[in-house]
Homo-oligomer: A and B are copies of this chain.
């Protein structure tokens, strides 16, 4: 059985959507069991089916806008649902954590309570982004490391490759470097160095530079940049999609025929929205920890949260972290020779 620790108090609609998401996951995925960390009383009121689900009482919710995440985690180590769920990985009582709590607190907590995979230099947050083809793509690193060395990005890209192979079923994932132009030599010093390093590696297939004007249509499976740039890309995609949705709605409702047209095409418009909806795709995985931690969207509904659990289970089932660790260990041996 794969044991998944769920932070039931994290997220905008906690614990309701988290508990419902957990019940949905238990129903759909047969080889998992779930430990819900949260307010026992509140959870019990929501839990209509406790098959393979246990509760650990940890009622404190770290606020979404927490200004000092490190101290919040440290001070509430015993009572915070997030801290307790994260601790379960080191304690050996769970194999993976899913949380839709405050991102910064989750990252801080993961570093303090889960720690890095030995030899993996910089953890990365890897959200999954949509594409025109419908295949989900991986974006690295969406916030962890504002400044970073090329060799650390190589480790992250390799991690993403294993993830794409095992969880997204891509036989030969292709890595693209986010840049302001496609020609070699474009961009900053960092981009030149990464380009050179990635061009020489046989750890994965390197596509070269990609300009984000092809971010939804590029053949790459994995897009990589430093944490600042990738976070800006992710948020610009989000902002443009949201803004365009509003402009489209305004346009459609501005005339009678527009309204009728939108009514007739409502299924299609829903499908369009769904294609861009993060909860369809699952959460962001933190790469390079000792064990997998999944950040589901703060605004996750039960279905979005279920998708995060499904993703966590698949990562464990395919032993993604073990496969990356085997490579990291092998490079350490080479380095010691």
Contacts and interface: CB of A to CB of B under 8 A. Distances in A.
Contacts of A229: 228-229, 232
Q: Is the interface of A mostly helix, strand, loop or mixed?
A: helix
Interface string A236-271: 111111111011101110110110111111111101
Contacts of A238: 212-213
A314 B291 CA distance: 60
A331 interface: no
A233 interface: yes
A241 B240 contact: yes
Interface stretch (A31-39, A106-114, A214-222): A214-222
Given A244-B216, A247-B132, A180 B258 contact: no
Interface residues of A, number: 58
A32 to B, nearest CB: 32
A133 to B, nearest CB: 10
A203 to B, nearest CB: 25
B265 A243 contact: no
Given A180-B232, A232-B229, A265 B258 contact: yes
A269 B251 contact: yes
Given A217-B242, A254-B268, A261-B266, 18 more contacts: A132-B246, A146-B188, A180-B228, A187-B228, A211-B239, A212-B235, A212-B239, A216-B240, A216-B242, A229-B229, A240-B241, A244-B276, A252-B265, A257-B264, A257-B268, A260-B261, A261-B262, A265-B265
